Amino acid sequence: MRLRLALQYKFLPQETLQSRFKVDFGDFIDICVLQILSYARYSTLNCSATGKPSLQSLKNTRPTTYVLSLCGIAFCFAIAFKLVREGKSTAEVISAVGSVASFVGLLIALLQIRSVKEISEATQAAVTETKAQLIGNISISDLSKAVKLIEQVQTYLGYNKFDLAYLRMLDLRILLIQFGGNPRFLGTTGRTKYEGLLQNIGIHVINLFDAAFRAKIIRIAVVNQTLENAVGILVAFENELKFGGGIK
């Protein structure tokens, strides 16, 4: 193939040979520029569909950098060869090649900066997701603790140990107040339902105190009914965390 091209160019007139070389190198330069711009555009718009860092885009960063480097080197050689054939001075050749190299280097630098930013965003997203999962696990542990406290209160009420039931009811009320700071808990339970439950628990705490230290008679059935409602709310939210996408 090369021998045939050499023979072809050997018998061509000098003006035709120069014009053909001029067209060939011009086309080559255009191809290199299009390749550089297309890869730069691809790496810039790769995450535009989702607006989030893409693992595929992070994997493509290194090959894209290699392609930009190779295209830039080839582009510089092509320009240098073309300018030398045209009889340009060494200073002009160095200036032109330096400008092209600076432009390609700027593209690569921008690509690397974007890559570092995407890696930072992906890391932050992973940390946030892990933190949310840990918070979910702690919430399930607290829910189980709250259900256990309700069982203890009901047991103490069955044995008329109102002082111990009062202490466990206080602990239960504190946990319920903490749950109120969770927007997802309020969304699942309903703010009105939650506030009504918390109000009833507060009333029972006062009544249990009076029963334990002032011998006041309380209606244990009413207390147990409130506690059963609390169990239903807590178990429903626990199921939402386990099976509704709270923990993966």
Q: Is 166 in the same domain as 123? A: no
Q: Is 17 in the same domain as 79? A: yes
Q: Is 89 in the same domain as 116? A: yes
Last residue of a domain, one of 99, 127, 155: 127
pLDDT of 243 reads: 81
Q: How many domains does the chain have?
A: 2
Q: Is 209 in the same domain as 189? A: yes
Last residue of a domain, one of 112, 127, 142: 127
The model's pLDDT over 149-161, given as tens digits with 9 standing for 90+, comes to 999 999 999 999 9
Q: Is 115 in the same domain as 154? A: no
Residue 3 included in any domain: no
Q: Is 149 in the same domain as 66? A: no
Residue 1 included in any domain: no
Residue 151 included in any domain: yes
Residue 152 included in any domain: yes
The model's pLDDT over 4-45, given as tens digits with 9 standing for 90+, comes to 443 344 444 444 444 444 444 445 445 555 555 554 454 444
Q: Is 17 in the same domain as 122? A: yes
**Degrees, nearest 5: CA angle 47-52-57:** 40
Task: Give the mean pLDDT per block of 10 residues along the chain (248 residues).
Answer: 41 44 46 50 47 53 75 82 82 83 82 80 81 65 91 94 94 91 86 92 94 89 94 90 62
Q: Is 117 in the same domain as 139? A: no
Question: Contacts from 236-241 at CB under 8 Å and sequence distance 24+?
Answer: 236/188, 236/189, 237/143, 237/179, 237/185, 237/188, 237/189, 238/140, 238/143, 238/144, 240/184, 240/188, 241/136, 241/139, 241/140, 241/143
Q: Is 105 in the same domain as 163? A: no
Q: Is 159 in the same domain as 184? A: yes
Q: Is 140 in the same domain as 238? A: yes
Q: Phi first, then psi: what are they for 120, rounded to 5°?
A: -65, -45
Q: Is 123 in the same domain as 176? A: no
Domain span holding position 152: 132-243
**Residue 100 token pair:** 């092209």
Last residue of a domain, one of 102, 127, 152: 127
First to last CA, the chain: 61
Residue 210 included in any domain: yes
pLDDT of 11 reads: 43
